[in-house]
Chains A and B, each alone.
Chain A
Amino acid sequence: DVKVTQSSRYLVKRTGEKVFLECVQDMDHENMFWYRQDPGLGLRLIYFSYDVKMKEKGDIPEGYSVSREKKERFSLILESASTNQTSMYLCASSLSTGGAVNEQFFGPGTRLTVL
């Protein structure tokens, strides 16, 4: 079974804090993704990574950065958290097979509240 885990289910931070959200997958997937999910807006892609140390901006990268030092781990960083970053954050991973677009597997999510 594919397993994607996220470091926290719930997180409360203060405005201006630096926040790290961690995601780990155990299926040797090349691709990893960070999304945020907001009521009325659905899921939006923040960043994704297709290999170690490789990253690509998604639709809403402003205010976020990412790090992928090891294949199994993908971190989302909020350099200076703001209240508009209060959201549900979801990590996902998928296999990379040539030009195919493969099934994405999701973690349980981190509900982040920025006060």
Chain B
Amino acid sequence: KQEVTQIPAALSVPEGENLVLNCSFTDSAIYNLQWFRQDPGKGLTSLLLIQSSQREQTSGRLNASLDKSSGRSTLYIAASQPGDSATYLCAAAYGNNRLAFGKGNQVVVIP
């Protein structure tokens, strides 16, 4: 069974610093990897999707990389802002449209 791990569970950074969030998965035979943002009590907002054939994807201040061989993905958020405070989840897609989710990194950006 595919397992996805996100460590640490929670972190705080001062405003302006770059955020680095890590995601590891056990089965390298993934179709893609998706990063989501979740605000308290809300649903998930899709941030980036990296196909298994890609090494990275960028959207504005966000950049996500994928290294299938080592079972890792990293989400970078440049010049963090208080509005970036949220929980970030990664999900590895494998057969039959299944997503295996990590438990998330809860991020607080301190003004």
Contact = CB atoms under 8 A, between A and B. Distances in A.
Given A109-B41, A111-B41, A103 B46 contact: yes
Which size class do A's interface residues fall under?
20 to 34
Interface residues of B, number: 23
Contacts of B98: 45, 58
A85 B36 CA distance: 24
Contact of B43 (A41, A48, A103, A109): A109
Contacts, number: 51
A101 B46 contact: no
B34 A103 contact: yes
Given A31-B97, A42-B104, A103-B49, A90 B44 contact: yes
Contacts of B94: 101
B109 interface: no
A104 to B, nearest CB: 6
Interface of B: 31-32, 34, 36, 41-46, 49, 89, 91, 93-94, 96-99, 101-104
Interface of A: 4, 31, 33, 40-43, 45, 48, 50, 56, 58, 88, 90, 92, 94, 100-101, 103-109, 111
